[in-house]
Structure 1
Amino acid sequence: MSAYTASDPAGSVVAAIGARWSTVGGAVGIPVELVGAQVTRTAFDHQVRITFTAHGPDGRVRLGAELVVETELSMTDADGGQVLLVPGTGSRLAPLLDLFTRTVTEVEVTGRGTLRLGFDDGTGLSVDPDPDYESWSLSGLGLDPVLVGPGGESGWQ
């Protein structure tokens, strides 16, 4: 696959299958390693946790990562229907269960840390930075950790 990047006038950068880069101007690290990873677990309490796993050509695990969302997120289905989800709301988070076994096909990080994930069934997931709280973090085996804190991006290695 060939590498490509796409950006718009607002500075958005998209990673998709075949992408080979992982940062945008030194700001938020784009977790391109998620492309090709499968959702292997979803869990809810006062946070939403989504676990991703991917294997290399040799069959060994190349990625074992967890996305933790602490603020409102939106989920868009393949038909364009959108639902806003709030961690800590119990069964209202049920639409996220449909992500189980889905494969990430696109990763986008824009602005101060808006995360958008696209999946193989056309579903999309989006988390914006929160002015007062940590909105999302991603950590695990096979990628550089990212934490989007209050007001936007803050990274740790």
Structure 2
Amino acid sequence: MKVPTPLTGCRVDRTAFDHQVRLSLSALDPDEGYRVDAELAIETPFLLCDPHGQWHELDPGTGASLAPVLDLFGQTISSVEIHGKGALHLTFDNGAELHVGPDHHYESWHLTGTGVDPITVGPGEETAWQPPPQPEPHHTD
């Protein structure tokens, strides 16, 4: 699996919560506009270490308990790593860390957008990593 290194230097422009936790990420190229305009969607329990070193076990769809994620707004990703069978680890410029491991039963996270290769970490083993399906070309006869 290719590590999505273009996320390094991206800023968190928006956080959104429902049955997923979504981070809108962007990075500007001074000459050409957006270098990256992407969304990271987290669908399973994850870990967030705040800038003070306190770890939070968080679960999408749990409302106010997701408040620590709000502190990622405006922060910049300083490093991106993928470990093992699809565990995503992001470090932010304020010292916060986000860790999303793979799940045996559900899609745990996916990344889509401009400037990044799409990634979906689905249930199961490492072989379950795959980009989201691309739409079939429509032929008119």
> For the structure 1 residues 81 and 57, does the alpha-carbon distance in structure 2 shift closer, same or farther, using more than 3 Å as the test?
same
In 2: Cα distance, 1:144 partner to 1:129 partner = 18
TM-score of the superposed pair, with normalisation by structure 2: 0.88
Aligned length: 130
> For the structure 1 residues 93 and 152, does the alpha-carbon distance in structure 2 shift closer, same or farther, using more than 3 Å as the test?
farther
In 2: Cα distance, 1:50 partner to 1:146 partner = 15
2:14 aligned counterpart, secondary structure: strand
> For the structure 1 residues 92 and 156, does the alpha-carbon distance in structure 2 shift closer, same or farther, using more than 3 Å as the test?
same
Give every structure 1 segment of 4 or more consecutive aligned residues whose post-TM-superposition deviation is greater than 4 Å.
none
In 2: Cα distance, 1:73 partner to 1:44 partner = 14
Aligned residue identity for 1:156: P
Aligned residue identity for 1:122: G
In 2: Cα distance, 1:94 partner to 1:60 partner = 31
Structure 1 gap ranges (5+): 1-27
Q: How far did 1:29 drift?
A: 2.0
| Pairing of 1:33-72 with structure 2 (within 5 A) | 33-58=6-31, 60-72=33-45
Aligned sequence identity (%): 49
Task: Pick one of 106, 113, 118 that aligns with 1:140.
Answer: 113
Q: How far did 1:152 drift?
A: 4.2
2:95 aligned counterpart, secondary structure: coil
Structure 2 gap ranges (5+): 133-141
In 1: Cα distance, 2:119 partner to 2:130 partner = 5
In 1: Cα distance, 2:34 partner to 2:107 partner = 29
In 2: Cα distance, 1:82 partner to 1:59 partner = 38
Residue matched to 1:115? 88
TM-score of the superposed pair, with normalisation by structure 1: 0.80
User: 1:155 aligned to 2:133?
Assistant: no
